[in-house]
Structure 1
Amino acid sequence: MPGSGRGSARWRCWNPAPCPTSPRVQAASALTAGRVQETFQTQVLGAINSVTQVLPDMRVRGRGTLLFTTGAATVLSVPAISSVAVPLAALRKYALDLNAELADQGIYAAHVCIGRVIEPGTEGDPDRLAEACFELYQQRDRAERLLAFPER
């Protein structure tokens, strides 16, 4: 809707991609509320603000897709980057809750957890990851997908 201040989108992908080598990244034992709050502001509140912009239009159309990407520390224990991982775990929960709430309205939300560094020619090849995300967008059959994780 032009001029309404809202975005019109069929889909939206949220991926602010924090850098794990940033000096702002803290380990679990050194974690401060302020550092988590900074990351939470960008990662989680940014996603909520983004959804707020497109969700009304998706509800009117009865269709839409919301994809949220995170890294391995969202589902695995990586204490060295807790200042990033703790807010991303909240983002994961938000994505899963959105899907549970909105699926019967034709709106699909999914969490995509990428388990490798994104680099061409590797298991984290961006083209492979994009294809997997597009497949999720088309199939709309699961609320979470783990991509490019090492074998355990």
Structure 2
Amino acid sequence: MIIIRNSRPDEGERAVEIWRRAVDATHDFLSQEDRQAIDEMVCDFLPKVPLWFAVDANDYPLALMFIDNGHMEALFVDPACRGTGIGSALVRHGLLLHPKMTTDVNEQNAQALGFYEKMGFKPTGRSSLDGQGRPYPIIHLEYIGV
């Protein structure tokens, strides 16, 4: 059973751990320098924002989602739990709150792009640089439905 709940102030370290493990497993296109710079930003940012966690029966966070004004800024699943439906459960939860939810995905992350398309998101545009001006193209997506 997947339980979804709000994060608590003392769970910032676990959020960063989930992010790091997920990025290390899926973002092999990042240069080492960029990976380190992004890590520093995330360590400062992620523990401070309200997250949704998918937790196990022992209330241990396995995945996270951050939504800001209807835009899913982050969805990361611990690689040990990929393929179990946790990411889908978080997205469905987000869609209950924001039926026209949008998100962005790195163009080089084909698995994530396929996941979002399977969930009912459709591309609405493309940016040649990421949000920090790095050369990692971004695909903009909006939930249309399946």
TM-score, length of structure 2 as denominator length: 0.30
Answer 1 or 2: which has greater helix percent: 1
TM-score, length of structure 1 as denominator length: 0.29
Higher relative contact order (CA 8 A, sep 6+): 1
Pair member with larger Rg: 1
Answer 1 or 2: which has greater strand percent: 2
